[in-house]
Amino acid sequence: MNYSDFFQMIPEASLVAILIILFVADFVSANTEERKWFNPLACVLMLVNTIVCLLPMEAVTAFGGMYVTSTAVNVMKAILSLGTFIVVLQSRVWAAKSGKEGEFYMLIVSTLLGMNMMMSAGNFLMFFLGLEMASVPMACAIAFDKYRNNSAEAAAKFIITATFSSGVMLYGISFIYAAYGTMYFSDIAASLQATPLTVMGLVFFFSGLGFKISLVPFHFWTADTYQGAPTTVTGYLSVISKGAAAFTLLSILFHVFGGMIAYWHVLMMIVIALSITIANLFAIRQSELKRFMAFSSISQAGYIMLATLGNDWNTSIASLSYYVLIYVVANMAVFTIISVVEQNNGGKTEISDYDGFYKTNPRLSFLMTLAMFSLGGIPPFAGMFSKFFVFMAGVKGADITTTEGAWIYGILFVALINTVISLYYYLQIVKAMYINHSDNPMPTFKSDCNTKFALAICTTGIVLFGVCSFVYEWIAAAV
């Protein structure tokens, strides 16, 4: 084995270094009372990691094809690292109160490490290890509020479904191994044939990843887990984990099962239409904000996966990465606000608690409105552009005169109608804050500087990433 290969895994090496630094810092200062420097340390380290990921890197193949990167993977790693930076930034007060800051940041960083491994896998074994490296620490992070019933409940639901789904996925991978005798993506792609065994393998494999992205037939854990998990972790779970899994699914569908595009197009069309529609209908009747955001994230996952309906790898991956970037800033803005409201008002997360929020906290409610507009896709904000690009990627290469092309246009039409439905429920939050009257609205409070900084980054993203076209051009040029 050539140990110099390790030096080619720059984003992963940087994350491992961060893990070690955090571990040593936590270990050394374990008995000190005041640890005000701990969160800034973690923030600076994550910021450095983001910058490292942004440095121009070449596509490498290491460890005999086990580890493969491309410029597209590097862009996605940078986006996820930025998201993790925001999560770490906004988690200061909550993490300090839990008394286990060190563990929390280490769990988050090791989850990110697993996702990076998963995204740059070139072999099913590596992919599986990355996936598990991401989901096991994730379960620990969900169970982080040890003394709260809901947190334990959410973690139990998450870990049981996660192990089950990875079992189903492995069963699919074993079929593919039986058919081709290799687990390298490139070798499988070279000799891919649509035999019944491979189709079975594809379906089982897809259902495993579908659990991670929480697409509709596999979404039952999502609502409970999102509601029960600590708000910071919910934010992380809804954007970073989902983005990484969506990216991996798209790249495996194109690069491994590219020859069977007719088969998985049908699969994706059914799953996307179901995800968007059912999640929207359920979201309308929610009264708890985190649960509401869970259903909203299921429908957003459907929109993300619209990118798979195209047949051009470059536009699909560029639009997916762009969508995830916008989703990171918009969703993190919402979860930061939920988290700060929860901390200052004794854990209030019902939508009706936000009645009259504008009167007491006008700035926060304005930022929440911007984020909701972006999630709903109202024009000047970034959310509209990201939706536009995935729709565009979805119809790429679709010919409306053929049956399949007509179906793709049909699915896009369903997605379009659902955008209108989603506007209804996103605006309900806005209505609660601005119009609904409340006899005792939440008192005015001041958030700490970290939260302000996180919200500033998110708002800048929501407002500027759409209007400044160079963001999309940068992503599109990199892939």
Partner 1 sequence: MIPVEYFFVLSGLLFFIGVFGFVTRRNLVAMLISVELVLNSVDLNFAAFNRMLYPDGFEGMFFTIFSIGVSAAESAVALAIIINVYRHLHSDQVNSIENMKL
- Binding residues vs partner 1 (CB under 8 A): 124-125, 128-129, 132, 135-136, 139-140, 143, 146, 149-150, 152-157, 159-160, 162-164, 166-168, 170-171, 173-175, 177-178, 181-183, 223-224, 227-228, 285-286, 291
Structure tokens that stand for 463 in this block: 């407002």
- Minimum distance of partner 1 from residue 124's CB (angstroms): 8
Q: Taking Cα atoms as reference points, which of 293, 213, 282 lies closest to residue 250?
A: 213
Give the nearer residue to partner 1 in terms of CB position, either 177 or 263: 177
- Minimum distance of partner 1 from residue 429's CB (angstroms): 18
Q: Taking Cα atoms as reference points, which of 376, 299, 393 lies closest to residue 334?
A: 376
Give the nearer residue to partner 1 in terms of CB position, either 160 or 270: 160
Give the nearer residue to partner 1 in terms of CB position, either 168 or 408: 168
- Minimum distance of partner 1 from residue 227's CB (angstroms): 5
Give the nearer residue to partner 1 in terms of CB position, either 159 or 370: 159
Give the nearer residue to partner 1 in terms of CB position, either 182 or 186: 182
CA pair distance 126, 351, nearest whole angstrom: 42
CA pair distance 351, 394, nearest whole angstrom: 34
- Minimum distance of partner 1 from residue 290's CB (angstroms): 10
User: How far, CA to CA in Å, does 155 sit from each of 98, 129, 243?
Assistant: 17, 20, 20
CA pair distance 279, 297, nearest whole angstrom: 8
Q: Which amino acid is at 235?
A: G
Give the nearer residue to partner 1 in terms of CB position, either 16 or 156: 156
- Minimum distance of partner 1 from residue 219's CB (angstroms): 14
Q: Taking Cα atoms as reference points, which of 365, 302, 362 lies closest to residue 333?
A: 365
User: How far, CA to CA in Å, does 377 sit from each of 166, 200, 397?
Assistant: 34, 37, 24
- Minimum distance of partner 1 from residue 246's CB (angstroms): 22
Q: Dihedrals φ, ψ of 288, to 5°?
A: -105, 130
Give the nearer residue to partner 1 in terms of CB position, either 66 or 72: 66
- Minimum distance of partner 1 from residue 49's CB (angstroms): 25
- Minimum distance of partner 1 from residue 208's CB (angstroms): 11
Give the nearer residue to partner 1 in terms of CB position, either 162 or 320: 162
Size of the chain, expressed as the number of residues it contains: 479
CB 238 within 8 A of CB 293: yes
Give the nearer residue to partner 1 in terms of CB position, either 128 or 247: 128
Structure tokens that stand for 462 in this block: 């929501």
Give the nearer residue to partner 1 in terms of CB position, either 38 or 175: 175
- Minimum distance of partner 1 from residue 112's CB (angstroms): 18
CA pair distance 341, 447, nearest whole angstrom: 9
CA pair distance 169, 131, nearest whole angstrom: 11
User: How far, CA to CA in Å, does 176 sit from each of 205, 227, 365?
Assistant: 9, 36, 51
In this structure, the dihedral spanned by the alpha carbons of residues 150, 87, 40 and 447, taken in order and rounded to 10 degrees, is -70
In this structure, the dihedral spanned by the alpha carbons of residues 174, 3, 12 and 132, taken in order and rounded to 10 degrees, is 30
Distance of CA 218 to the CA centre of its chain: 16
